[in-house]
Each structure stands twice: as structure tokens, then as C-alpha cells.
Amino acid sequence: MSLHIDEDFEDAFLPVTVYVQDVNDHAPEFQNVPYYLEVDELTPVGLTIFRGIHAIDKDKPNTANSDITYSIVGGNENNSFILSDPIEGILVVNKALDYDHGIREFKIQIQASDHGDPISLSQVTTMTIRIKDADDQNPVFTQEVYKASVSETPTITEKWDLM
């Protein structure tokens, strides 16, 4: 850009440089939502179960206004899950899961926040995690002794009644 000055038929040009600073006017936006997972109740503590948490910010790239970190802000009963990497959004099992005696479905609120200055902007999404039952319970007998009567000449289709 240049500035043109015209006074009494004399011309002068002065170069002017204009710097435009980014204003933090865009909040992060989650991609590929809603998030839904099924996790086996025998999944070991410390195992990564999801790497796909992703948001974008339309502010100037590679600035505080567009750099994003993730955090769990709700629904994480018993602190069952953690984000092992708040920049990459990697979700990890933090506590043993139990379908039979624990929570069978979590609705975790995940927040994406930029680092804007003076104000950080954020957005929250919900990740549903359903715990799948595994065959981890031993059989239980309901009484100590069972009795049955069998005829001396049983047929192949004969039923026995336990008492």
C-alpha cells in the first residue's frame, strides 16, 4: 500500500505498511461428532481407547488464538477416564471398569479450548462410552444340594426335574 500526496502539482509517494492482528473471534469446533465408543469391561487400566478427539479453530493458524487443548469437564464418574495428552486428545482408561456392579454408560463432556488472549474461547461436546459385559462372573448355585429322580429305563427325550 502507498500513500499519494498531491499538492500544487507535486507528487510524493510514501510507502505504508499495515499489520493486521488476529482477534480471537472463533471458538474451536469439534469435528466428526458425536463421539460414541463401546469398551469391554475387562479393558486394562492405562490402555488408550480413543485417539479421534479433534477440533479446529478458524483463527490465524499456529497462534495462541488457534492452538487447542482438550479437557474432561463433566460426566467422568469415579475419574474412570483421563486424557493422557491434552493437545492430541488421547483418551485412556484410568480406573477398572465393571459392567456388573458399576456404571454401564458414561456421557463425558469434553471441552476444546483455545489459548486466546485476553479471552480464551471454548466448545463442549459429549462422548458416550458404553461398557460391554464380559464373561467374568463365576456360576453360582442357589442351593447346596440338588436331587433328581431317574427311571430305571430312561428314554432319550426324558426330562429330569431337580429338586
Q: What is the pTM of this model?
A: 0.75
Residues 57-114 have pLDDT tens digits of: 999 999 999 999 999 999 999 999 999 999 999 999 999 999 999 999 999 999 999 9
Residues 110-158 have pLDDT tens digits of: 999 999 988 999 999 999 999 999 877 788 888 888 887 777 776 777 6
- The label of the residue with cell 426335574 reads 161
**Residue 15's beta-bridge partner residues?**
2
CATH number for the segment(s) 25-132 = 2.60.40.60
Half-sphere exposure of 38 (CA within 13 A, CB side): 3
